Amino acid sequence: MSMINITIDGKAVQVEEGTTVLEAARVAGIDIPTLCYLKDVNEIGACRMCVVEIKGARALQAACVYPVAEGNEIYTSSPAVREARKSTLELLLSNHKKECLTCVRNRNCELQTLADELNITEIEFEGEMCDLPIDDSSRSVVRDPQKCIACRRCVGACENLQKVHVIDALNRGFKTEIGPAFGKKLADVACVNCGQCIVACPVGALYEKSAIDQVWDAIRDPEKVVLVQTAPAVRAAIGEEFGMPIGTAATHQMVGAMLRMGFDKVFDTDTSADLTILEEGTELLHRLQNGGTLPLITSCSPGWIKFAEHYYPDMLDNLSTCKSPHQMFGAVLKTYYAQEAGIDPAKIVNVSVMPCTAKKFECDRPEMSDSGYKDVDYVLTTRELARMIKECGINFQECDGEFEQPFGPASGAGVIFGATGGVMEAALRTVADILTGQDLQDIEYHDVRGVEGVKEAAVEINGTTVKVAVAHGLGNARKVLDKIRAGEADWHFVEIMACPGGCVNGGGQPIQPARVKNWIDIRAERAKAVYSEDLRLPIRKSHQNDSVMKGIYEGFIGEPGSELAHKLLHTHYTPRERF
């Protein structure tokens, strides 16, 4: 590609043809403010916060969409540029619901940050306030239209990234509203609760439906035994809420903090990820050997499950019947663990800390109560757990703790569930040992790792070729499912995760501002944390986890795929209308 020579704020820069002014400024070490721009998600130049002055141009140009040309002289902070940005921001603030101190995004709000950086000390305009009500109809996501700045980043996430298309810009001008069509609420449309709209939103217009108060009430109740489990992706991101670098594994700090908060026992959901592999691997082998519906598609991601129920109901037979790991663990805790510990299961409150907003919907599904009790009572996101830790005044980085026995430590295979390709790799580690009858040492399947949207691999195991595919993000899931539906695929096993990058980039994870996400791939950085955990663990295969094999199976369920296993650990799915 040919190179172009330009000047930005007097600094000579050489960039590739097709580079935008925003990207060129980055090369020059110059930070241009943005608001609506989110790389690969929303690149529409609508908010005008990134305007720059280009010598010879008749008007200021949006840096995020304007491609540089040979010889351009660009000014990113001229008086005209600064005045335009401040006026734009003041207009946005003029009718914004200004409750910064009590907003869920206080101190992590891009609008608030820009107001500080642009030295906004007073708002000259008094705008007409939006009077639309809060939409809290969803079990997972809350919408506050009075805080919405119509940047359309949530729309970009829903339409361009996830291809779900349940929210859009409605009406025109001042009456523009972001939401479902025809005035419907989120609960009335085919929203899959993935929460990618939340992590795309620069302000507090979208947030998870909180379970913090209910969990505090349970912890304070002396009659309740409050058990908490944490998903593998939580440890890969929660440190960001306490100033730790992206990609830091904060396992021991997280466990120690939760014990100090007052939870009675802290368990590792990775254990039930190992349990999932045993059940799912058995299911795969059964379908391969007995002519079942193929490809088998993983069922760990509740956002993906609801997406399939709405958009691909004809393919529900392809889905594994396994519950997601935290729901499996919830059932085990209220049966096997309650029996072994001598606790009345009616007194147990199961709390899951998840990187996922869709699991809030999932835990309320009526089929998630085969033990006679609700498998999981409450789901907290990674962000909610961080808020609770901060509320207690706990110094997170100084905490230290270990997961509770008899369910820890889990295997490395369980840990890598948090990254795209992790479920597939964990399954292959076990299936390979079963098919060969050996304890194979070459267990890292790099073909299914990474952030490429769709990955394929053919794995030779003891003379059997197992063809697999991995997709993350529902836009990529559509590509895979359409190929299967058209009869153009010959895969045996497919992993799908609703969120781009997998659970490490779930809708409940810490929110990084656009100025970070536009230039750093947080999916890859957080994935490094789970893979590093895998490497340090002495057991790296699910079927070698004694707490699962000798505890749960030998001591309670019997064997993978048994009648009791199907009662407690498996489920069914429901075709749903789109509207």
Q: Which residues are catalytic?
A: 280, 283, 300, 320, 359, 362, 367, 503
**What is the dihedral angle through the alpha carbons of 484, 523, 144, 364, rounded to the nearest 10 degrees?**
60
How would you label 24-55 residue by residue, b for 16+ Cβ within 10 Å and e otherwise? bbbebebebbbbbbbeebbbbbbbbbbbbbbe
* Nearest by Cα to 167 from 354, 48, 43, 42: 42
Name residues whose C-beta falls within 8 Å of residue 194's C-beta, 6 or more positions apart in sequence: 162, 164, 303, 356, 357, 358, 474, 498, 499, 506, 507
Task: Identify the DSSP state of 161.
Answer: I
Euclidean distance between the first and final Cα of the chain, in Å? 46
- The Cα–Cα gap between 250 and 213 comes to 25
* Rounded distance between C-alpha atoms, residue 307 and residue 313, angstroms: 9
What are the backbone dihedrals phi and psi of residue 19, each rounded to the nearest 5 degrees, phi first? -70, 140
* Secondary structure class of 417 (helix, strand, coil): helix
Q: In whole angstroms, what is the distance from residue 477 CA to residue 473 CA?
A: 6
Instruction: Tell me: cis bond preceding 302? Omega within 30 of 0 counts.
Output: no
Nearest to 35 by CA among 59, 55, 64, 57: 64
Q: What is the DSSP string of 500-565?
A: TTSGGG-TTSPPPPHHHHTTS-HHHHHHHHHHHHHHH-S--SGGG-HIIIIIIIIIII-STT-HHH
Partnered with residue 350 across adjacent β-strands are 227
Any long-range contacts for 22-27 (C-beta under 8 Å, 24+ apart)? 22/50, 22/63, 22/64, 24/68, 24/74, 25/52, 25/63, 25/74, 25/76, 26/519
Convert 223-241 to b/e letters by CB count within 10 Å (16 or more is b): ebbbbbbbbbbbbbbbbbb
H or E stretch covering 348: strand 348-354
AA letter at 185: K
Cis peptide bond prior to 202, omega within 30° of 0? no
